[in-house]
Structures are given as C-alpha cells and as structure tokens.
Amino acid sequence: MDTVSIKKLIDILNKESTIYEGILKLSKEKTDVIVKGKVTELEGITRAEQTMILQLGKLEEEREALVGQLAGQLGVKPEDITVSELEKILPKEQSKELNDCSKKMTGLINGLRDTNGMNAKLIKNSLDYIDFSVNILSNAGSSGDIYGKSGQSNDAKKRNFFDMKL
C-alpha cells in the first residue's frame, strides 16, 4: 500500500477537521446572534459558512479521488473503503493517526448537528412569533362582530393594518 497516499488522506482529513471546527464556532456564534435578533450579523456568518463549505467541497473532491486511487491499489470498490477497513491494513502508527482523525471528525459533526438543531428551533420560534404578531396586527381594528344591529355586515368598518394601494 502506498503510504504517501495515506499521508495525503490524513492531511486532507485534518484540513477538513479544521474547517469543521471553524463552521462549528460560527454555528455557536450564530446561536447568540439569532437570540439577539441581529440579522446583519447573521448574514455575515452565513456568508462565512458558505465560503467554508465551498472549501470543504474542494477537499472532498480531493479525498474522493485519493480514495479512488487507494481502491485501485487494494483492488476494491471505492465505496467499500472505510476508515475501519483501512485501519486493519495500515501500520500501527498510521492506523492510530487515521483513527484519531475519524474520532475528531465524528465529534465535530455531532457538535454541528446539535448546534444546527438548536439554531433551527430558535429560528422556528422567531418565525412563529413573527407570524403571531402579524396576525394580531392584521386583525387590529376588527370589532369581532360580523353583523351589526341592522343586520348589515360590519366589513366596511374592518380595517387591516397592512392594506394599502399600490
């Protein structure tokens, strides 16, 4: 087995881990920004995340190409190569290094999943509150009675806060 390819693979995984650490940090910052309702800061964080995701995409392409090379050397399909399988056939030092990368990456991804779940709940709560507020405002001024004493509809008296002519 080509140890240079394994070193490149470990290097790529370490670079991906670094980017995931950055994304996790931004996600935690995003939680604070969502709670405080700072929309412009949220936009900036989202742009920074997008840049990091593009970097991850490039690293993933490199990783997949490298795994394809390793698969050719091992005579297996690329989709059959896993960290666990590689650990079995690698020298002890490289196996441990690959295992460490895998554990770190798994922890980061779990942290991201949890933080993003929390952010999604916060955003949903904010949107629910906005929807509630809009409904309250749009019903402001309505008397609640559909018909007046004369039997005529009170719709003429109903005023919607958001009605306007364009």
Q: Indicate the domain borders of the chain.
A: 3-138
pLDDT of residue 113: 96
pTM recorded for the entire structure: 0.76
For residue 139, what pLDDT is reported? 73
pLDDT at 86: 86
The pLDDT value recorded for residue 166 is: 46
Q: Residue 3 contacts by C-beta under 8 Å, 6 or more apart in sequence?
A: 91, 94
Confidence (pLDDT) at 59: 96
User: Cβ contacts of residue 39 below 8 Å, gap of 6+?
Assistant: none
- 138 to each of 69, 71, 110, 156, how far by Cα in Å? 62, 62, 42, 15
The third-level CATH classification (topology) of the domain covering 3-138 is Methane Monooxygenase Hydroxylase; Chain G, domain 1 (1.20.58)
Q: Identify the segments of the chain with pLDDT beneath 50.
A: 164-166
DSSP state of 79: G
Please report, for the chain, how many H helices and E strands are present, in that order: 4, 0
What pLDDT, on a 0 to 100 scale, did the predictor assign at position 43? Answer: 92
What pLDDT score was predicted for residue 80?
A: 86
Determine the longest span between alpha carbons in the chain, in angstroms. Answer: 93
Do 39 and 97 touch, CB atoms closer than 8 A? no
